Chains A and B, each alone.
Chain A
């Protein structure tokens, strides 16, 4: 049960992150952080199909995570679901066409290794 939840959380998070990133690039750079600007951001985000689908997937991942937290310790739940860093970096390159230079690969690899160590 624990690992089925982890698989659900990781795949929904990856798809959600990709959709959110694609949607926010279409939205354009957020520049106004006064309360009215934040309200406008929320209003435009709820009309952005990419972001709405991304948030829906992250919502599923979130319910999966609180379920996982209720049957395991936080120190298992969070690190176990964080195993997706390298996968998401690869998807960012293939799907979002981001240019990932050596530093980013090294960084993503270190983070993945680090998270794997947190797991034990």
Chain B
């Protein structure tokens, strides 16, 4: 039997960390994208070319935010299933798509809005399942 109190705490903890991971990922990717466009095409086998990219403040800020993303993602994975974490943090993709379009003053097509809606709905459905199904607690869902 699951303790309702533990369950509540696990859900709340997961929600907070998902929110941190999502915001850090959206802001980090947007900064990186802007920085990389300032630098110009970089497809290289040499790590030095990528280190040089860090001199751009947008790239540096983006990398710092992605470190925060990594730590919150790892914390989430320490208590929640990968199949729980992935769909929920995927809302970052929907938000990145919106931010990317808005930054370019571009129009968001109805198909994109539909995609954003489906991602959000999918994340909400998974968010209602119990975060962990392995390691002693064998039951998913409600």
Residues on A close to B: CB < 8 A? 1, 5, 17-18, 20-21, 24-25, 27-30, 33, 38, 41-42, 45, 51, 55, 58, 62-63, 66-67, 69-71, 73-75, 77-79, 82, 85, 88-89, 92-93, 96-104, 106-111, 113-120
- Chain A residues with CB under 8 Å of B133's CB are 98-100
- Chain B residues with CB under 8 Å of A38's CB are 71
Inter-subunit contact B43/A71 (CB<8 Å):
yes
Residues on B close to A: CB < 8 A? 29-30, 32-33, 36-37, 39-44, 50, 53, 59, 66, 70-71, 73-75, 77-79, 81-87, 90, 93-94, 96-97, 100-101, 103-104, 106, 111-112, 114-126, 128-129, 133-135, 138-141
Inter-subunit contact A92/B119 (CB<8 Å):
no
* Complex CA–CA separation, A67 to B59 (angstroms): 13
- Chain A residues with CB under 8 Å of B101's CB are 75
- Chain A residues with CB under 8 Å of B138's CB are 99
Q: Give the nearest-CB partner of A118 in chain B.
A: B115
Inter-subunit contact A116/B115 (CB<8 Å):
yes
CB distance from A17 to the nearest CB of B (A): 6
Inter-subunit contact B79/A110 (CB<8 Å):
no
Inter-subunit contact B82/A111 (CB<8 Å):
no
- Chain A residues with CB under 8 Å of B78's CB are 24-25, 27-30
- Chain A residues with CB under 8 Å of B85's CB are 21
**A-B pairs with CB below 8 Å: how many?**
194
* Complex CA–CA separation, A99 to B136 (angstroms): 12
* Complex CA–CA separation, A99 to B82 (angstroms): 11
Q: Which 5 A-B pairs rank lowest in CB-CB distance, beginning with the nearest?
A: A117-B115, A110-B122, A114-B118, A107-B126, A114-B119
Inter-subunit contact A70/B42 (CB<8 Å):
yes
- Chain B residues with CB under 8 Å of A73's CB are 100, 104
CB distance from B105 to the nearest CB of A (A): 13
Inter-subunit contact B66/A62 (CB<8 Å):
yes
Inter-subunit contact A101/B122 (CB<8 Å):
no
- Chain B residues with CB under 8 Å of A106's CB are 122, 125
- Chain B residues with CB under 8 Å of A69's CB are 32-33, 36-37
CB distance from B9 to the nearest CB of A (A): 10
- Chain B residues with CB under 8 Å of A118's CB are 93-94, 97, 112, 115-116, 119
